[in-house]
Amino acid sequence: MKVLKFGGTSVGSVENMSNVKKIINDGAKKVVVLSAMSGTTNQLVAIAQDIKAGKAQDAVEKVNQLHEKYKVTIDELLNDTALNTAVKAYVSEVFAFLGDCTSKSFLETLENQIVAQGELLSTYMFNAYLNQEGVSSALLPALDFMRIDENKEPDINYIKENFKRVFDNTPDSQIYITQGFICLDAEGEISNLQRGGSDYTATIIGAAFIAEEVQIWTDIDGMHNNDPRHVEGTHPISNLSFDEAAELAYFGAKILHPQTVTPVRVDNIPVRLKNTMEPSAHGTLISNLTSGDGIKAIAAKDGITAIKIKSARMLQAHGFLKKVFEIFETYKTSIDMITTSEVAVSLTIDDDKNLEAILAELEKIAIIEVDKNQSIVCLVGHEVVNHDDTFKLFQILQDVKIRMISYGGSQNNISLLIDSEDKINTLQKLNDYLFELVTP
Ligand code: ASP
Ligand code: MG
């Protein structure tokens, strides 16, 4: 059995939902993971932010607007009167709940409950639509089996056991629909797998029952060799290894949640990236096969903060780095890039939630410089660090100020830290020289 995940755009309009129906209705049993309809999660986050900011009236307006939008979509989607009425009743309950939330005081748990509604709505509507169209389908409620632990990692044993239980107790169907993104936390409260987390749901479920394949259906034909939003003439990469895909997803290729391949690589379950708008396109196949050496793809990740930690005490001393890392560990902040010299260490983080507290601790042991608005540009390819052309990077980028470079941390990745304002220029230059074969 395969797991197929469809993103927000794929379920974002009645026309696209009908495309999804065609794709999944091929007679084979499958699990279908759905995101919220496009725009919904952003809107739910905005509602939670209004509540946090004490703007209850703005929140109420947003809830009402969104409800109207759903009513229109349901009328377009469901012409079966009984199903139309039943789905509207469910949707009204959801919006009544959201309405109640607007008068509550803000808590993270409240926000999590609010943002979870998007996937509950889309799956309920889509399941009813399949029933109307005569396709046998059933809902597998994600909150009955999907759970994260204290470290916000999927609790894979719990998920395996409970997915099986829920699946076995569900009437035999062709399509089993479940919600992406949402889960319970270690305390049993509603939580989520972070923005874009439906991809992660799909591979976690894939790993839970050792699926034959996981497919991630979006609105682009696979992972591109550079960022199509900034560079013209990019093309989809037909094959990536798990390592290459993990590096690309982590360092910025927006198409995948950063953790997507983690659950499936041990069991070598292939992940195929496909385009709902163009189902016959090959897309990208992520598997344990490696193909071709040299730079295969470039991605960039914004919103990076660089921290330079200088201390004369580092000179020929041991234990300094341990102290530095312990501070980041205390604030559960992970470090992405790191370079060291005799008297300084520079590192980057992408989550600056606890930056002030971290800096206060670091200042006790060293002199600190902080630069915000940095971007990591990541070059990925099998054995890229050993490739003959890699030396050209410095020639190509001679007029770009490179703040840090990470080379050899893995064989498949070279990362550069630059000012975000230089990002588009850097991506374009790299594209011209590396993929268009212009000789520097
Ligand atoms: N709906 C969630 C989001 O917009 C999860 C997802 O779409 O993957 O982030
Ligand atoms: Mg996504």
Q: Which of 1-15, 68-82, 290-304 shows the lowest per-residue confidence on average (mean pLDDT)?
A: 290-304
pLDDT band with cut points at 50, 70 and 90 for residue 387: confident
Mean pLDDT of 337-360: 93
Mean pLDDT of 111-131: 98
How does the average pLDDT of the chain come out, rounded?
93
Judge whether residue 383 has pLDDT over 90: no
Instruction: Tell me the percentage of the chain whose pLDDT exceeds 90.
Output: 81
pLDDT of residue 316: 65
Q: Which of 122-131, 224-233, 275-284 shows the lowest per-residue confidence on average (mean pLDDT)?
A: 224-233
Residue nearest to atom 5 of ligand 1 (CA): 196
Tell how far the Cα of 198 is from the centroid of ligand 1, in angstroms.
6
Tell how far the Cα of 35 is from the centroid of ligand 2, in angstroms.
8
Mean pLDDT of 307-325: 83
Judge whether residue 292 has pLDDT over 90: no
Minimum-distance ligand 1 atom for the alpha carbon of 119 = 1
Minimum-distance ligand 1 atom for the alpha carbon of 35 = 7
Tell how far the Cα of 58 is from the centroid of ligand 1, in angstroms.
23
pLDDT of residue 440: 53
Domain ranges within the chain, ordered by starting residue: 2-219, 297-437
Judge whether residue 360 has pLDDT over 60: yes
**Class for the domain spanning 297-437:** alpha beta
Instruction: Report pLDDT digits (tens) over 75-120.
Output: 999 999 999 999 999 999 999 999 999 999 999 999 999 999 999 9
Judge whether residue 37 has pLDDT over 90: yes
Tell how far the Cα of 250 is from the centroid of ligand 1, in angstroms.
16
Judge whether residue 438 has pLDDT over 70: no
Tell how far the Cα of 196 is from the centroid of ligand 1, in angstroms.
4
Judge whether residue 129 has pLDDT over 70: yes
pLDDT of residue 439: 60
Report the residue among 33, 194, 195, 257 best suited for mutation to probe ligand 1: largest number of ligand atoms under 8 A from its CB.
195
Residues whose Cβ atom is located within 5 A of ion ligand 2: 7, 196
pLDDT band with cut points at 50, 70 and 90 for residue 396: confident
- 2-219: CATH topology is Carbamate kinase (3.40.1160)
Instruction: Report pLDDT digits (tens) over 137-188.
Output: 999 999 999 999 999 999 999 999 999 999 999 999 999 999 999 999 999 9
* Secondary structure (H, E, C), the chain: CEEEEECCCCCCCHHHHHHHHHHHCCCCCEEEEECCCCCHHHHHHHHHHHHHCCCHHHHHHHHHHHHHHHHHHHHHHCCCHHHHHHHHHHHHHHHHHHHHHCCCCCCHHHHHHHHCHHHHHHHHHHHHHHHHCCCCEEECCHHHCCEECCCCCECHHHHHHHHHHHHHCCCCCCEEEEECCEEECCCCCEEECCCCCHHHHHHHHHHHCCCCEEEEEECCCCCECCCCCCCCCCCECCEEEHHHHHHHHHCCCCCCCCCCCHHHHCCCCCEEEEECCCCCCCCEEEECCCCCCCCCEEEEEEEEEEEEEECHHHCCCCCHHHHHHHHHHHCCCCEEEEEECCCEEEEEECCCCCHHHHHHHHCCCCEEEEEEEEEEEEEECCCHHHCHHHHHHHHHCCCCCCCEEEEEEECCEEEEEEEHHHHHHHHHHHHHHHHCCCCC
pLDDT band with cut points at 50, 70 and 90 for residue 384: confident
Mean pLDDT of 339-360: 93
Judge whether residue 367 has pLDDT over 70: yes
Tell how far the Cα of 152 is from the centroid of ligand 2, in angstroms.
19
pLDDT of residue 251: 81
Minimum-distance ligand 1 atom for the alpha carbon of 194 = 9
pLDDT band with cut points at 50, 70 and 90 for residue 407: confident
Report the residue among 33, 41, 201 best suited for mutation to probe ligand 1: largest number of ligand atoms under 8 A from its CB.
41
pLDDT of residue 11: 97
The residues lining ligand 1, judged by C-beta closer than 6 Å to any ligand atom, are 7-8, 35-36, 41, 118, 180-181, 195-198
pLDDT band with cut points at 50, 70 and 90 for residue 314: low
pLDDT of residue 311: 85
